[in-house]
Every structure is written in C-alpha cells, then in structure tokens.
Chains A and B, each alone.
Chain A
C-alpha cells in the first residue's frame, strides 16, 4: 500500500469553479500535512500547511484535515488559469524527522478559460 494516495486526475475545471483535491495517507503517526504546487520544470512551492483537525483557510485555498479518517484535502475557490499545475500533498511524522517529507504522486489540475 502506498503511503500517500492522491486522486489520480488529471482534473479539469472551468475558470471560476471550485477545484477539489484529495489525499489519503497510511501512516498514523503523521503530524504535519502540506499541499505544494509545482509548475512544469520548477521546484514545488508551499501553498498550505495544516497540523490539526478541521479547516484552514488562506485566501482562495482551504485545507481540510481529518486524522481519524487519514484524509486531507485542498479546495481552490474561484479557480484561475494560473492555478493550472501539479498539486502534491505531503506529510511528515514530526519530531526529529520534521522537514522530511513523503509526497503523493500528484494531481494535474487544468483550469480552462
């Protein structure tokens, strides 16, 4: 079983719509969860980090974490063509391994005008 599973995609949404990205993980000791955006040929950039159950909002982005269900999601409201990228969820176990990330396989998002 893979440690991190993302909805396979690719995902295509019209401009202005809500894009929903999902991720499940198998390691119950995971403490920190992240969503990264990666444009082709570029390094990942951090969009959101979430550490406790519930929702966390930052602008057009909302991350949701449910540790009991081992599930984390990312909603992008009012999607823009510039949001078109690969989205990676990642987690680490915290403690001395903080910063050591396990990534999902990524979901390609295309926002079409």
Chain B
C-alpha cells in the first residue's frame, strides 16, 4: 500500500524559533499534499493544500506567512512553523494524493509539536 512518512514524529522547540516538518510519499508520486492540524480533543482541520511546483492554497484563518509550505518535488512537501509560540503546539498531520485520476489520500504518522 501507499506509504507516507512524516518527520519528525515529535519535536519540542523554544518559543520564537522555527520548526520544519517533512512529508514524503515513499512509493508513489504525489502532485497534491494536504496539511492538517489537530488540537487536543478536537478533530482534524485542514490548514492548506500543497501543490507541486506552485503556491500552496491556505484555508481561511491560516496565516500563510507563519506556516510556510514548500512542495518542490513530487515526493516531498515541507511545512515550516515560523516564530512558533505555545499556541502553535498541536498535532500536525500530512496526507498525500497520488498523481493522476481520483485517488484517496494517505496519511502520514503525524508530528507532535510542543512549543515551550
């Protein structure tokens, strides 16, 4: 089956620093990747849609200058949380959709970010 790998699985950073999260499709090419955020006891909320070779599309209320998304290849998308603050602490999950046709998206294992 399709495998999506996220790295790191967890990260602790100091307030004001930036953190980069990687999302890789290991055995398929992904034109489109999605980034979700999940706060404790809440559901997943889509943050942005990442398209290879073009700018990401952000959902309403998500600051594009704070959450930088780069999708430079068909197997890798990165999310950088800039100037992180404790309220950015959350579970960040990516999913990737295979190129071509209507296919489901596969989830990475998620990244637990804690900002102290």
Residues of chain A lying within 8 A (CB to CB) of residue B46: 100-102
Contact with A along B73-116 (1 / 0, CB 8 A): 00000000000000000010101010000111101111010000
Complex contact B34–A101 (CB within 8 A): yes
Alpha-carbon distance A36/B105, docked complex (angstroms):
12
Q: Looking across the interface, which residue of chain B has its beta carbon closest to that of A44?
A: B107
Interchain Cβ contacts within 8 Å, total number: 51
Q: Looking across the interface, which residue of chain A has its beta carbon closest to that of B102?
A: A98
The A interface, classified by DSSP as helix, strand, loop or mixed, is: loop
Complex contact B103–A105 (CB within 8 A): no
Complex contact A44–B104 (CB within 8 A): no
CB distance from B106 to the nearest CB of A (A): 8
Q: How large is the interface on A (under 10, 10 to 19, 20 to 34, 35 or more residues)?
A: 20 to 34
How many B residues, CB 8 Å from partner? Answer: 21
Alpha-carbon distance A41/B32, docked complex (angstroms):
25
Alpha-carbon distance A103/B42, docked complex (angstroms):
10
Alpha-carbon distance A27/B95, docked complex (angstroms):
22
Residues of chain A lying within 8 A (CB to CB) of residue B109: 42-43
Q: Looking across the interface, which residue of chain A has its beta carbon closest to that of B110?
A: A43
List A residues 64-113 near B (Cβ within 8 Å).
88, 94-95, 98-106
Complex contact B107–A99 (CB within 8 A): no
Interface of A toward B, CB cutoff 8 Å: 32, 34, 41-46, 49, 88, 94-95, 98-106
**The 5 nearest A-B residue pairs measured at CB:** A99-B105, A99-B97, A43-B110, A103-B43, A103-B44
A-B contact pairs, 23 of them (CB 8 A): A41-B91, A41-B112, A42-B109, A42-B110, A43-B110, A46-B104, A49-B104, A88-B43, A94-B102, A95-B102, A98-B97, A98-B104, A98-B105, A99-B32, A99-B34, A99-B95, A99-B105, A101-B44, A101-B105, A103-B43, A104-B43, A105-B42, A106-B43
